[in-house]
Amino acid sequence: MTKVIKIKSGSKFEDMASYSRLVAVNDLIFVSNTAGRDPDTKEIPEEIVEQTLQVFTNIERALAAAGSCLADVVAIRVYVQDPADGDAVGAVLGQKFRGIDPACTMTCPPLGSMAYKVEMDVTAYRGASAARVDRIDLAP
């Protein structure tokens, strides 16, 4: 039987637009586009690295509530407001995903507010972190 979990983080936007921070269908997990707003203080860090780290904190919190973790992430989409911030965001991605190596897309569209310098959404598969991985390098 299919099991669906829907997690709300308390964001006013989730209620306004009627969506969940995370939806899991059996072991397949989708985390909605997530900004770097601290859910407790409602503050958004000014500095791009700190904002990116807060995005990861928010995503990890949602994944943990569903019995998953960052190591289960199989795909990530990253939205960076200013292309000049791409390398700084990429460095944080490297810190967080080294050895996990999910599929990744980074793009630079306008975001919902100028306060948001980076947003991300992820797809995870509960248990992927414990799976055997075959790595294939296509580089010559």
Domain residue limits, the chain? 4-125
Q: 65, 77, 76, 78: which is closest to 23 by C-alpha?
A: 65
Residue where the block lists tokens 């990253």: 78
- Segments of the chain with pLDDT less than 50: none
| pTM listed for this prediction | 0.94
CATH 3.40.50.2300 is the classification of domain 4-125: no
For residue 72, the 8-state DSSP code is G
Q: What is the DSSP letter of 51?
A: H
Phi, then psi, of 72 in degrees rounded to 5 = -90, -5
pLDDT of residue 32: 96
**What is the pLDDT, as a whole number, of residue 105?**
98
Three-class SS of residue 15?
A: helix
